[in-house]
Amino acid sequence: MKRIELILQTLRALPAGQSLTASQLGERLGFSRANVSGDLNRLCEEGLTVKSGRKPVGYLAVRSRTKLGLREDSLDDFIGNFPSLVQCGELAKAAVLYPPHGINMLLIGETGVGKSTFASRIHRFALSQERMVAGTVLVTFNCADYANNPQLLTGLLFGAVKGAYTGADHDKPGLIERADGGMLFLDEVHRLPPEGQEMLFTYIDRGVFRRLGETAGERKARVLLICATTEDPQSALLRTFVRRIPMVIRIPSLFELSLDERATLINGFFTEEARRLDAKIQVSVNSIRALLGYACPGNIGQLRSDIQLLCAMAYSRFVSHEKDFIGIDSFSLPHHIRNGFFSEHNRREIWNRVPGLGLGYIVFTREGPDVPDRESSSAPSDIYQMIEQQTRDMRRVGLKEEEIRVGLNTVVERYYKNLTESAADLVNFKEIERLVGPEIIATVDRMLCLAPERFTERSSEQFSERFSSIPGVNIRWALAIHLYKAIGRMRRHQEIVNPRLEEIKTQYPRQFEAALSCLNIIRQDFGIAFPEDEAGFIAFFLDPQLLRTEKAPLVRIVVVAHGNGTASGMAQAANELTGTEIAVGFDMPLQENPGTTYQAIRKYCAALSDVREVFLLVDMGSLVDFAPNLSRDLGIRTDCCVLASTLHVLEASRKALLGYPLRRVAEDVRNIAGLALGEGQPARQTSGSALYLLTVCSTGEGNATMLKKLLEEKLDLKDGLCEIIALQITDPKTFSAETDRIARKGRIIAVAGPFDTGLPVLHLSVQDVFDDQHGNGSAMEKIQEIINLESLFQHITPAITPMLDSFDVPDAPGGERITQDIRRLIERLGNLLQMEVDEKMTVGIFCHIAFMLNRLKKGQLTAPFPGKEGFLEKYPGVIDHASRECRNLGIDYGVVIPQDEICYIAAFFTRENIM
């Protein structure tokens, strides 16, 4: 009898309710505690034992199907959290239940998708259905371990008699016999050589076999086979073998699972580690977001391993007293996981679904995730905390301001939906009245009575009937909760900012006017003067149909790009993010005549009976003629944008859905990062931003020219942003005059040549230029980083400056001044603190400071820096340098930068977790 079977038998022999620890079992049976513990964990996974109590943990044998939880739907319990596995589960159940003894199965899936786990669940289901002998365990075998030794493989599968091979000093049963009456799981079955596959034919066909070395008689066994492979069975297995396994089940990869399914896995793995460590694990919300978004080629297996690694690192910091809790924050994530912040796949859904609005972390216990309450659970999170937290989270991981703005729009939409549904779900509206007080309820009633008088032709009764008839909407109670939160915020002297204020003013002027009148009612009743941003929030409560009615867009979005799947992929991504079908993509094969593509677009546009404006996004300038041709042929208004990306398509779709006219859609899309150009529209140039790299020699321009050609081949000069100039140094005065002339036109970033010119820039030796092995930190790498960063800022500056509405920077030069001032501050702080500030960090700090200055110019308040006193004590040197630089910047722009803001800036350079 095997050790695991003996352990299970011993536990079953105990009196009811009595348990044994791993150590006690080891002493009783003469096995090591480590081996016994491993077997007990396996028995728990199989559902044959359960744990009892805390450390030392005892183990009980499961004596009935009720205690085990092996109900008829035990497999359904497993796939209930994973809708993507429903079909897999149905196929597996059909295979188990097929008379008389089930049919063999082949599981196909990438490495790490969970084939072994799924096989274990199939085994549990078969036990629950009494389709196999009670108490049998799932016997597993990895075929790769013995793929090159057919004789040993035969002995392991079918057993061997004494003397069958060297070392066979007694009869040995094989895996088939051990699994008799149960299941045998053959993992990596494609590693079985053809001889090994053929060995199974007779058994699969007739249910009989012989041990290795056995010549007379046949043995019988009833075993259900579950095989698993990562390969295509048609090419990796014998066709005669595949024919004998009729049930093929494909397990989806981690990438194919939904975001909710991936979140379930993450929660489960952290919960497992909390049980293993017998302690709480605190995980930042941003860390959860990164885990949801990062590329995980190893599938579920890699996800589990990565989470175990994160927990191990956090536990190490805990036991070494670096931290007084087991905590995982975004700064401690490995690089490949941090990249999840910047993943285009599901980005918007990730930022919208993860909890933590007003929270910075999730606590995992042995029972599962436990999100701490910051306020009474009777009231949903307020819109202000949601906006602040989402903005802070997005900026912390370096997302662009345009992406943040798109994300904040969805925060507002989700807030109204959640709040009205929360009010509908409360059992007794008296609970809300007790929470907010009768005064707020009375004020809300006055506001709702005012609304129909201001912008509808209905009476108050008709208006009330109108919003009360909308399923799931309880406007009176939802508005009461919102107002309760808003008043509390004003009394705490916290600012109120509405990211959609201008859109609401433009799109819903009557509702906004009524909301302003409501602010007067609030001021009369409570003596509190709200900013007009609050009117933007109230407007949606006053006319709930705005949240329910889908208006036909005035503009239709058409994407045209060369290559298979390019245009359609961008259009599909935008449609999924907006939940509509407003964008359509036309993929243009490289060999296809543009006229053929144009006719397809023309046919599509002609069929749009309700649309008179079309906005085209194309990937090449040769396609811009499509727009005027459509206007000529169909009599519709068109516009065009070149250099389309998913972000451009998404912004165009969003603006069109908001009802913006074609002109406004086109303008807003072209303003994104300054990338897109319309027909006849010149590219923007930022004055004084040209870069120059000098190649020099003293013996003639030949060597300098050769170095120039080499550098042009090795560097990405960003379409002429950086120019390489070859110079001959024959006279110091002439060389100095020439470099001064070049410096007036732009910025000299480096000099390449056989000697140092004395210019205060990077110097490349001739060896640096010829050396192809450029590692991190090399001179060539640094030059490329400078070029990349300058290119990035040429796109950022025209995109951000229109948003800085407190400054007079309508044109590029004004925006360039702010950009250069902030970049100089970042560079000086990096030098003072002796830090390398990389591209992502520079962009993140720049965006933060630019919008900070804008807020301060408006007189808006700063969010308190969490743990400020401790932070000031921990980093006095960083604070001193940051304070000095911020004081000078504040003088230049007429603002006083408060200490909380200085701490936020300093946190970038300390990489301190402030969530």
- What pLDDT was estimated at residue 28? 87
The sign one gets for the Cα dihedral 379, 383, 384, 389 is: positive
Residues 41 and 211: their CA atoms lie apart, in Å, by 31
Helices (H), 109-249: 115-128, 150-158, 175-178, 194-206, 233-236, 239-243
Q: Compute φ and ψ for 173, nearest 5 degrees.
A: -70, 150
Q: In this structure, what DSSP letter does residue 186 have?
A: E
Q: Which of 674, 678, 647, 675 is nearest to 663 (CA)?
A: 678
Mean pLDDT lowest among 3-17, 477-491, 694-708 = 694-708
Residue 135 is predicted with a pLDDT of 79
Instruction: Write down the pLDDT at residue 472.
Output: 35
Query: Does residue 57 sit in helix, strand or coil?
Result: coil
Give the C-alpha separation, 103 to 96, whole Å: 7
Q: In what order do the strands lie in the sheet with 361-365?
A: 327-328, 281-284, 361-365, 368-370
More confident residue, 678 or 861: 861
Q: Which residue has the higher pLDDT, 585 or 662?
A: 585
- CA atoms lying within 13 Å on the CB side of residue 221: 26
Alpha-carbon 402 to chain mean position: 17
What mean pLDDT is predicted for residues 41-60?
Answer: 70
Tokens of 399: 């997302």
Q: Which token pair is 805?
A: 């509405």
| pLDDT tens digits for range 606-645 | 888 766 789 999 876 567 788 888 888 888 888 888 756 7
**Band of the pLDDT at 297, cuts 50, 70, 90?**
confident
The pLDDT confidence band at residue 224, using thresholds 50, 70 and 90, is very high
pLDDT at 377: 37
Provide mean pLDDT across the span 525-546.
80
Amino acid at position 395, single letter = R
CA angle 326, 330, 332 (to 5 degrees): 60
By CB atoms closer than 10 A (0-12, 13-18, 19+), residue 205 is: exposed
Is the confidence at residue 457, as pLDDT, over 50?
A: no
CB 634, CB 605: distance < 8 Å? yes
Q: What is the CA radius of gyration of the chain?
A: 34
Is the pLDDT assigned to residue 437 strictly greater than 70? yes
The average pLDDT across 745-771 equals 79
Q: Which two tokens stand for residue 63?
A: 């004596």
Residue 861 has what DSSP assignment? P
Average pLDDT over residues 250-261: 86
In this prediction the pTM is: 0.42
Q: What is the pLDDT of residues 786-845, one digit of tens each?
A: 888 877 777 777 767 777 776 654 343 445 678 878 888 888 888 888 887 777 788 888
* Confidence tier at 890 by pLDDT (50, 70, 90): confident
Select the highest-mean-pLDDT range: 46-55, 519-528, 674-683. Answer: 519-528
Question: Measuring CA to CA, which residue among 141, 236, 123 is closest to residue 182?
Answer: 123
Identify any residues that bridge with 848 across adjacent strands, giving them in sequence order. Answer: none
Q: Say which residue, 84 or 417, is predicted with more confidence.
A: 84
Judged by average pLDDT, the poorest of 178-182, 480-484, 492-496 is: 492-496
Q: Are 667 and 676 in contact (CB under 8 A)?
A: no
DSSP SS3 for 667: helix
The string of DSSP codes covering 293-313 is: HS--TTHHHHHHHHHHHHHHH
Query: What is the mean predicted confidence (pLDDT) over 482-500?
Result: 79
Q: For the chain, what percent of residues have pLDDT higher than 70? A: 76
pLDDT, tens digit (0-9, with 9 covering 90-100), for 403-413: 666 566 656 66
Q: Are 725 and 742 in contact (CB under 8 A)?
A: yes
Residue 347 has a pLDDT of: 62
Parallel, antiparallel, or unpaired: how do β-strands 224-229 and 183-187 relate?
parallel
Residue 382: its pLDDT value, please?
58
* List of residues 6+ apart from 656 with CB closer than 8 A: 553, 554, 555, 556, 557, 582, 615, 665
Residues ≥6 apart with Cβ < 8 Å to 110: 230, 253, 299
Q: Which of 765, 759, 780, 667 is nearest to 715 (CA)?
A: 780
Share of the chain above pLDDT 90, in %: 10
CB within 8 Å of 702: residues ≥ 6 apart: none
How remote is the C-alpha of 216 from its chain's centroid? 62
Q: Per-residue pLDDT for 464 more than 60?
A: no
Residue with tokens 């004596």: 63
Q: How confident is the model at residue 685 (pLDDT cuts 50, 70, 90)?
A: very low
Apex CA 908: angle with CA 905 and CA 910, to 5°? 110
pLDDT tens, 98-147? 888 899 999 999 999 989 989 999 998 898 888 888 878 899 999 888 77
pLDDT at 248: 93
Q: What is the pLDDT of residue 73?
A: 41
**Nearest-5° Cα angle at 748, 743 to 752:** 130
Write the CB contacts of 383 (distance below 8 Å, at least 6 apart in sequence).
411, 412, 415, 482, 485, 537
**Does the pLDDT of residue 551 top 60, yes or no?**
no
Question: Distances in Å between the alpha carbon of 437 and those of 60, 316, 432, 546, 814?
Answer: 53, 49, 8, 28, 50
Strand partners, 83: none
Please give the average per-residue pLDDT across 209-232, as a whole number: 88
| Residue 396 in tokens | 């912390």
Longest CA–CA separation in the chain, Å? 104
Task: Look at residue 688 in the predicted model and tell me its pLDDT.
Answer: 45
Listed range (129-143, 416-430, 654-668) with the worst mean pLDDT = 416-430
Predicted local distance difference test score (pLDDT) of residue 157: 87
- Compute the mean pLDDT over every residue in the chain, rounded to the nearest whole number: 77
Identity of the highest mean pLDDT range in 300-314, 598-612, 707-721, 735-749:
300-314
If pLDDT is split at 50, 70 and 90, which confidence band does 470 have?
very low
pLDDT tens digits, one per residue of 148-161: 777 788 788 888 88
The pLDDT value given to residue 427: 37
The predicted structure's pLDDT at residue 269? 92
**CA dist 130 → 5, 80, 123, 802 (Å):** 19, 22, 11, 70
Judged against a pLDDT cut of 50, whether residue 681 lies above it is answered with no
* DSSP H stretches of helix in 83-193: 86-97, 115-128, 150-158, 175-178
3-state secondary structure 408-435: HHHHHHHHHHHHHHHHHHCCCHHHHHHH
Instruction: Please report which helix (H) or strand (E) contains residue 726, including its range.
Output: strand 722-728
Output the pLDDT for position 65.
Answer: 36
Span 163-198, pLDDT tens digits:
777 777 788 888 999 999 999 999 999 988 887 788
Beta bridge partners of 587: 561
pLDDT at 684 over 60: no
Greater model confidence, 282 or 470: 282
